[in-house]
Chain A
């Protein structure tokens, strides 16, 4: 008995009589199912939960429609958390992109040579990103300490400040202290992505530009940036998503205080979900966060599309 062979001329029968498109769907189905199960189902579950008033400790579980969202609309704490989150995101993502670009160009210069030092430089730069956030936040909390912290000591010694500043206790400084820590931690990530982009830019373009008499700035402005735009958008999307959802960095440093000046949306959601156990309202908060991330990401992609259309 030999197994049936498909010669290309016989038409398959029964289950196998599918069009090419049908086959495509069939073969992609497991992947769809997986994505649906892993990504879509939890999102839908959270969305469904956000339409309930649910506090298991008091046995409260009722469908309330958009009541949670109406509450959210009138919740000053929610709007304050939105402002804090967007402020944090704007500052940290901008700085990370600029600094990351600088680092990437530096690394690109170094790595174009050979030897051990380029690798070492890459490893050194990536290190902050490799440290778990909770650990690095704790390290920064010590650095920020007004009495024995390194930062205050250095600033005092160099004469930049006259008296110790309590970075985390001062409501004006606290959020910026968190931003600085985040920049330190995730600039390497931006740099790494941009470096990958940089190495793919054909060197001939620079050579041609030099022949035409273009300076370094013009080369950067008209060759590097346009060619890297897709990578820049990827960096922006990734970093924005992370920054909007920021939790551990800020939570370890300040816990949302003082006076809620550093309470981001995730911290508010965490406190609502896990400290006061209001699952419905907490889910509404999480959904709002999701909407913000989605809106910002679509904005970036839209900008990228327009950019590509204009340049190509």
Chain B
């Protein structure tokens, strides 16, 4: 046991300090902080070595944080607050940029990305990165909620991927009843009390033409009720979903034990890799919606930013240009399936041949909407998480949940004297 821990410790220490550093005392050492990438992150290291060759005298040291977004946020909050951050470049979640910008933790990058070039990126991430008319981060890769389904099972029963939520329930019910497989779940999503739950809930509610914090109450309640009903009424979602995050649902689906799954596109490469039990048996589709309304995938993904007071700001900005260049984005997409933030790449035949799924993802990313674009988003989400989680496990009705979520938001707006800005439809 102790040996295993020692090994882990050594490995993690080695993982934390890949490449760079020490070779040339006169060199500028850039510290690049980002969360652990899924799969093999070697492609990023390769890119960094290439950057070092292009820029003699600059060394880049990669420092990894845990994959959990919450942990990363905590790290950045503590280290950026003092004004002297021990890093020169950081990867930020779409939902943090507003907060970091308002706090003055990250430097504006307006001149790095002229207006014309901004249009080459998806609009969602640019909107999430724009605070007070200034751009504070450059989109690195994008994410949006998608529906994974078991193509083999749907085909066997002659059912098309569902376009609406009731269709999804119907398809799951029919197939579950016919398969009689106690191990098979109908529809899994992220129901744990954390940020992922808010994404899943927002997607259902927004696909009913309203929102969690604003907009029509009745339709929002129907949306929330639908989430609960998948567990309690339709019986297509196991109760364990109330503790499920991205990875646990991905594993369940990856073991062939779920018919539908809401997740981010990162799961595709992992589900389709050699040795995966569901390889070649799955499909990816836009999320369903309620009849008469458009699907509403939530925008995710990561951006690159520079701490306000980094003494190596110039080199860091160059590295951002390099990592967000079409070439770097293409290579990251090929190697680990992280999706480019630049739209033009989705039309490149050579890339589409390697990753055909990009073609399906393009309209989804184009339609993806950020979570409320406000510096207060984390508080907003934090106050909503327990309420929605209570709904999922049946401790609160949809009405009580919505009431509580909006009451918290109103209180926040009064306390801060600044109501949050809603992302335009």
Which of B38-46, B85-93, B327-335, B382-390 has 4 or more CB atoms under 8 Å from chain A?
Answer: B382-390
Indicate if B193 sits at the interface (CB-CB under 8 A): yes
Which residues does chain A contribute within 8 Å of B103, judged by CB atoms? 56-59
- Do residues A260 and B193 form an inter-chain contact, with CB atoms below 8 A? yes
Most chain B Cβ neighbours within 10 Å, of A147, A271, A275: A275
Interface string of B380-422 (1 = CB under 8 A from A): 0010001001111111100000000000000000001000000
- Do residues A257 and B193 form an inter-chain contact, with CB atoms below 8 A? yes
- Closest residue of B by beta carbon distance from A281: B415
Indicate if B102 sits at the interface (CB-CB under 8 A): yes
A278 to B415, CA, bound (A): 12
Indicate if A96 sits at the interface (CB-CB under 8 A): no
A166 to B191, CA, bound (A): 14
Within the complex, which residue of A58, A146, A166, A256 is in contact with B386, where a contact is CB–CB below 8 Å? Answer: A256
Which of B25-33, B69-77, B147-155 has 4 or more CB atoms under 8 Å from chain A?
Answer: B69-77
Indicate if B378 sits at the interface (CB-CB under 8 A): yes
- Do residues B239 and A275 form an inter-chain contact, with CB atoms below 8 A? no
Indicate if A117 sits at the interface (CB-CB under 8 A): no
- Closest residue of A by beta carbon distance from B103: A57
Which residues does chain B contribute within 8 Å of A277, judged by CB atoms? 77
Shortest CB-to-CB span from B252 to chain A, Å, is 9
- Closest residue of A by beta carbon distance from B248: A145
Indicate if B242 sits at the interface (CB-CB under 8 A): yes
Which residues does chain B contribute within 8 Å of A146, judged by CB atoms? 240
Which of A28-36, A168-176, A296-304 has 4 or more CB atoms under 8 Å from chain B?
Answer: A168-176
A263 to B104, CA, bound (A): 32
A292 to B38, CA, bound (A): 44
- Closest residue of A by beta carbon distance from B231: A169
Indicate if A264 sits at the interface (CB-CB under 8 A): no
Shortest CB-to-CB span from A264 to chain B, Å, is 13
Which residues does chain B contribute within 8 Å of A278, judged by CB atoms? 379
- Assuming A169-B241, A275-B74, is B389 touching A57 (CB within 8 A)? no
Most chain B Cβ neighbours within 10 Å, of A58, A170, A257, A271: A257
- Do residues A57 and B102 form an inter-chain contact, with CB atoms below 8 A? yes
- Do residues B70 and A166 form an inter-chain contact, with CB atoms below 8 A? no
Indicate if B192 sits at the interface (CB-CB under 8 A): yes
Shortest CB-to-CB span from A1 to chain B, Å, is 56
Which residues does chain A contribute within 8 Å of B110, judged by CB atoms? none
Within the complex, which residue of B77, B81, B242, B378 is in contact with A258, where a contact is CB–CB below 8 Å? Answer: B242
- Do residues A57 and B105 form an inter-chain contact, with CB atoms below 8 A? yes
Indicate if B375 sits at the interface (CB-CB under 8 A): yes
- Do residues A168 and B77 form an inter-chain contact, with CB atoms below 8 A? no
- Do residues B390 and A260 form an inter-chain contact, with CB atoms below 8 A? yes
Which residues does chain B contribute within 8 Å of A168, judged by CB atoms? 243
- Do residues A169 and B378 form an inter-chain contact, with CB atoms below 8 A? no
Which residues does chain B contribute within 8 Å of A274, judged by CB atoms? 74, 77-78
- Assuming A263-B386, A275-B382, is B81 touching A171 (CB within 8 A)? no
A271 to B416, CA, bound (A): 19
- Assuming A275-B382, A276-B378, A276-B382, is B77 touching A169 (CB within 8 A)? no
Grouping DSSP codes into helix (H, G, I), strand (E, B) and loop, the A interface class, with mixed when no group exceeds half, is: loop
- Closest residue of A by beta carbon distance from B80: A57
- Do residues A259 and B192 form an inter-chain contact, with CB atoms below 8 A? no
A227 to B407, CA, bound (A): 55
- Closest residue of B by beta carbon distance from A256: B193
- Do residues B243 and A169 form an inter-chain contact, with CB atoms below 8 A? yes
> Within A76-122, which residues are at the interface with B (CB < 8 Å)?
77
Shortest CB-to-CB span from B156 to chain A, Å, is 24
Which residues does chain B contribute within 8 Å of A276, judged by CB atoms? 378-379, 382
A259 to B104, CA, bound (A): 34
Interface string of A130-146 (1 = CB under 8 A from B): 00000000000000001
Indicate if A230 sits at the interface (CB-CB under 8 A): no
Indicate if B99 sits at the interface (CB-CB under 8 A): yes
- Do residues A259 and B102 form an inter-chain contact, with CB atoms below 8 A? no
Which residues does chain B contribute within 8 Å of A169, judged by CB atoms? 239-243, 393
Which residues does chain B contribute within 8 Å of A56, judged by CB atoms? 81, 103
Indicate if B290 sits at the interface (CB-CB under 8 A): no
- Assuming A58-B375, A258-B243, A275-B378, is B393 touching A170 (CB within 8 A)? yes
Indicate if B346 sits at the interface (CB-CB under 8 A): no
Indicate if A255 sits at the interface (CB-CB under 8 A): yes
A169 to B391, CA, bound (A): 13
Interface string of A277-303 (1 = CB under 8 A from B): 110000000000000000000000000
Indicate if B194 sits at the interface (CB-CB under 8 A): yes
Shortest CB-to-CB span from A154 to chain B, Å, is 19
Which residues does chain B contribute within 8 Å of A170, judged by CB atoms? 239, 393
- Closest residue of B by beta carbon distance from A254: B243
A77 to B239, CA, bound (A): 24
Indicate if A224 sits at the interface (CB-CB under 8 A): no
Which residues does chain A contribute within 8 Å of B99, judged by CB atoms? 57
- Do residues B194 and A259 form an inter-chain contact, with CB atoms below 8 A? no
- Closest residue of B by beta carbon distance from A170: B239
Within the complex, which residue of B70, B240, B386 is in contact with A260, where a contact is CB–CB below 8 Å? Answer: B386
Shortest CB-to-CB span from B6 to chain A, Å, is 14
Indicate if A219 sits at the interface (CB-CB under 8 A): no
The 4 closest A-B pairs by CB, nearest first: A257-B193, A259-B390, A260-B386, A57-B103
- A–B complex contacts, Cβ < 8 Å, 29 sampled: A56-B81, A56-B103, A58-B102, A58-B103, A58-B416, A168-B243, A169-B393, A170-B239, A171-B390, A254-B243, A256-B386, A257-B192, A257-B243, A258-B192, A258-B193, A258-B242, A258-B243, A258-B393, A259-B193, A259-B389, A259-B390, A259-B391, A259-B393, A259-B395, A263-B386, A275-B73, A275-B74, A277-B77, A278-B379
Given A257-B242, A257-B386, A259-B392, 5 additional A-B pairs, CB 8 A: A57-B105, A58-B102, A146-B240, A169-B239, A278-B379
Write the residues of chain B forming the contact surface with A, with a CB cutoff of 8 angstroms. Answer: 70, 73-74, 77-78, 81, 99-100, 102-105, 191-194, 238-243, 375, 378-379, 382, 386, 389-396, 416
